Amino acid sequence: MTPEVQWFHLGTHRLQHLKWGEQGSSVVLLAGMGHTAHIFTELAPLLAQNHVVYALSRRGHGKSEMPPEGDFTPQALAEDLLGFVEGLNLQNILLMGHSIAGNEMTLAASMQPERFAGLVYLDAAYDRSGVLDRIRQDPQIQQSKPQPQTLEGFRQDASAQYGFWNAALEADLQDQLVLKEGRLQLRPEWQNMLRDTHTFAPDYRAIRCPALAIYAPLMGHPVFLEQVMLPWQDRSIRQFSEQCAQGQVQWWHSENHQFFAAQPAKVLQKLLLWKTNI
């Protein structure tokens, strides 16, 4: 199923989104940091069997424009999301987001709880405050290498990082890249997201709809994982469980942060089971 490529105009910038399906309630998909609507190329057609599915590339990502102020705070991103769903007059929305999208999901659902029928956090329900401090402690980040300069180089790096490759990752990669000064590079604006996320802590108490948080086992340097990342994940899960009145936690079966792109049919199975039990 080929999506429709559409544009939505906000006050200072345009957002690109993809649409699948014509009938059913609305599903809105949000990618993680740096990624675009195209990363849902495998999952969205499965959801579109019973829903109208919109995947949004947030400001500064893919082909979506960046407003002049360069604001990537969760508040600004949540306002973009709400402007988008209000402009399309979407109601009774199932909102699904990956990774850092959890911040804008939580804010949007707290600001307009009546608009959302459910939330699905795809390895996304984390407290990312202090993220820059954690990055500075990560020995693998400190050993990172320069960006490639060719499409094949980017493809090889990404494939090695994710442990798989498919049409969704290919489409997403090609939408991330821009030609600048005669060579390909990742679009630079979104790299300020971590700076604007560093001081934000989520609060799930205002969410009024059922919410599913799927967590994947973490990977990383063994010492950093044990001393920093696993305690951080445990705190985040405990906060979500305690604060989200209708929240449920499930675990993914393997260490793959991009599991929704790798195994979309299994994600759909989890969603159907969750919806049956709420």
With tokens 């709420």, the residue in question is 278
**Coil, strand or helix: which one is 21?**
coil
Write down the pLDDT at residue 241.
98
Measured from the Cβ of residue 36, the count of other Cβ atoms closer than 10 Å reads 28
The pLDDT value recorded for residue 52 is 98
pLDDT at res. 144: 64
Instruction: HSE, CB side, 13 Å, CA atoms: give it for residue 148.
Output: 11
| pLDDT for 142 | 61
pLDDT tens digits for range 234-274: 999 999 999 999 999 999 998 899 999 999 999 999 999 99
The fold for domain 4-277 equals Rossmann fold (3.40.50)
Domain residues of the chain, as ranges? 4-277
pLDDT tens string 207-238: 999 999 999 999 988 999 999 999 999 999 99
Mean pLDDT value across residues 171-199? 91
Instruction: Please give the Cα distance from 197 to 193 (Å, whole number).
Output: 6
Mean pLDDT value across residues 77-104: 98
pLDDT value for 190: 85
CA distance 23 to 48: 8
Are 166 and 160 a contacting pair, CB within 8 Å?
Answer: no
pLDDT greater than 70 at residue 53: yes
DSSP 126: -
Q: What is the DSSP letter of 19?
A: E
Residue 143's pLDDT band, with cuts at 50, 70 and 90, is low
pLDDT class of 102 with cuts at 50, 70, 90: very high
Q: Indicate the pLDDT class of residue 1, thresholds 50, 70 and 90.
A: confident
Residues 216, 257 contacting (CB under 8 angstroms): yes
Res. 8: pLDDT tops 70: yes
